[in-house]
């Protein structure tokens, strides 16, 4: 569904942060992306949802080279990829339900209130539907961000450190939701530096673990 072909990226001319990356995100698979802070996990995710273009090699998304895509094609791609950002942002003056529905409303779609209620129930935010984002706990924010990321029924879900500031129990609850999404057929990629989280998840789902090391991408073995 998304492929990197010898792709590289650098924020500064002539200095690549990530080089020679070859990867194929396989449909229906659960992937982890790991590596130390500053290794380039967020950068790689941004390449996957066409927020950045590679400075070498190619990124092919749903059969199309990102480099050749126009604005409409990029918008189409973004609808197929749901993203939970590392620094989750909401419109603080709008209630949680409206924030979650935003990808629908900004693209001019009607909101199916029953589906929205079901989605909020799935992330256990029913009681917080009318709350404003600043009043949410860290775990509630992350669950709201996940609901917003899947409201357009994307094929692929990218989650960047979704358990970043959460305690272990809440981290596992969030992982459970991501595993459920995967079991319902979605391709999932979770970026995390937390190897314990990966180990715990691997007991429940067959996952491929990718690691960024020395500016390149490797497939990690079973020795996590």
Ligand X SMILES: Nc1ncnc2c1ncn2[C@@H]1O[C@H](COP(=O)(O)OP(=O)(O)OP(=O)(O)O)[C@@H](O)[C@H]1O
> Strand order of the sheet with strand 156-160?
81-84, 156-160, 187-191, 30-34, 207-213, 216-219
Q: Which DSSP category does 14 fall into? A: T
Provide Rg for the chain, Cα atoms.
Answer: 17
Element at 8 (helix H, strand E): strand 2-9
Told to check if 214 binds ligand X by CB under 6 A, we report: no
From candidates 1, 39, 59, 61, binder to ligand X by CB under 6 A: 39
Does the protein bind ligand X through residue 43 (CB under 6 A)?
yes
> C-beta of 160: minimal distance to ligand X in Å?
7
- b/e sequence 17-42, b meaning 16+ C-beta within 10 Å: bbbebebebeeebbbbbbbeeebbbb
Helix pair angle (138-150, 96-106), 10° resolution: 20
Q: Is residue 52 within the footprint of ligand X (CB under 6 A)?
A: no
Instruction: Tell me which of ligand X, Mg ion, none is bound by residue 38, counting a contact when its beta carbon lies within the kind-specific cut-off of 5 to 8 angstroms.
Output: ligand X
Contact by Cβ (8 Å): 212, 35 = yes
| Residues within the interface to Mg ion (CB under 5 A) | 41-42, 86
Out of Mg ion, ligand X, none, what residue 11 binds, judged by CB under 5 to 8 A for its kind, is ligand X
Q: Are 47 and 4 in contact (CB under 8 A)?
A: yes
- Taking the least distance from each CB to ligand X, the nearer of 46 and 148 is 46
Shortest Å distance, C-beta 161 to ligand X: 6
Q: Is 38 in the site for ligand X (CB under 6 A)?
A: yes
Verify binding: residue 124, ligand X, rule CB under 6 A: no
Residue 39: CB minimum distance to Mg ion, A = 9
Task: Please report, as ranges, the residues that interact with ligand X according to CB under 6 A.
Answer: 11, 17, 35, 37-43, 86, 161, 193
């Amino acid at each position: 569904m998304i492929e990197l072909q010898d792709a590289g990226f650098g924020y500064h001319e002539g200095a690549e942060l990530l080089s020679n990356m070859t990867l194929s995100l396989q449909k229906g698979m659960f992937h982890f992306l790991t590596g130390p802070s500053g290794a380039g996990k967020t950068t790689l995710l941004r390449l996957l949802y066409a927020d950045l273009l590679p400075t070498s090699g190619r990124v092919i998304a749903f059969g199309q080279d990102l480099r050749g895509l126009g604005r409409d094609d990029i918008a189409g791609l973004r609808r197929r990829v749901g993203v939970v950002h590392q620094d989750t942002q909401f419109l603080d003056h709008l209630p949680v339900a409206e924030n979650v529905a935003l990808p629908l409303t900004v693209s001019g779609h009607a909101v199916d209130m029953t589906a929205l209620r079901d989605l909020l129930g799935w992330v256990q935010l029913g009681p917080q539907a009318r709350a404003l984002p600043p009043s949410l706990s860290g775990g509630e924010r992350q669950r709201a961000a996940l609901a917003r990321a899947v409201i357009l029924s994307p094929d692929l879900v990218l989650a960047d450190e979704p358990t970043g500031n959460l305690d272990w129990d809440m981290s596992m609850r969030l992982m459970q939701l991501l595993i459920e999404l995967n079991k319902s057929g979605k391709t999932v990629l979770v970026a995390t530096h937390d190897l314990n989280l990966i180990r715990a998840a691997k007991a429940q789902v067959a996952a491929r673990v990718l690691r960024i090391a020395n500016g390149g991408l490797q497939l990690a073995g079973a020795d996590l």
